[in-house]
Amino acid sequence: MMAWWVDGQPEITEKLVQAVLDFYKAAALFPAPDPAFVIADFRRYYGIDLMTMDFLHWWEFLSLFRAHPEDSGCMKRIGYRSCDLSKIKNRAERDRIRKIQESIALSWEPEEDFGDALWQSMGL
């Protein structure tokens, strides 16, 4: 991939690696929902089976994902996860949302820091 640069290879800095990682994770666009809900919502709303299709461009995927209706499984979960409990005045409602958040919390933790692994794989 570095051979694609016409004017020579750019200097690989921590900022560059972080930008690539953010792009890869689409960190600025949305938090990662559960894969099963992504697959189900693409089938339900767009008739696209992500498990059997040969190709879907990343930008098309992001556009379709961001256009999911608010009542889709993905968007509901994202909404609950991002809900600020301190802004909910009603105690019963706050407790209800907290229980939902606990039940759908993302528990995945990387076994190693991906950025460090990337730096090491590049010999840096």
- Amino acid, single-letter form, for residue 59: W
Tell me what the mean pLDDT of segment 93-107 comes to.
Answer: 90
Task: Looking at 52-113, list the stretches that DSSP marks H as alpha helix, in order from N- to C-terminal side.
Answer: 58-66, 73-82, 91-104
35-57 pLDDT, tens digit each: 888 889 999 999 999 989 999 99
> How does residue 5 score in pLDDT terms, banded at 50, 70 and 90?
low
Q: Which of 45, 107, 38 is nearest to 74 (CA)?
A: 38
Going 110 to 115 to 121 to 124, the CA torsion angle's sign is negative
Model's pTM, two decimal places?
0.58
Q: What single DSSP character describes residue 54?
A: S
- List Cβ neighbours of 62 (8 Å cut-off, separation of 6 or more): 26, 29
In this predicted structure, the answer to whether residue 115 has a pLDDT above a threshold of 80 is: no
Q: What percent of the chain has pLDDT over 90?
A: 40
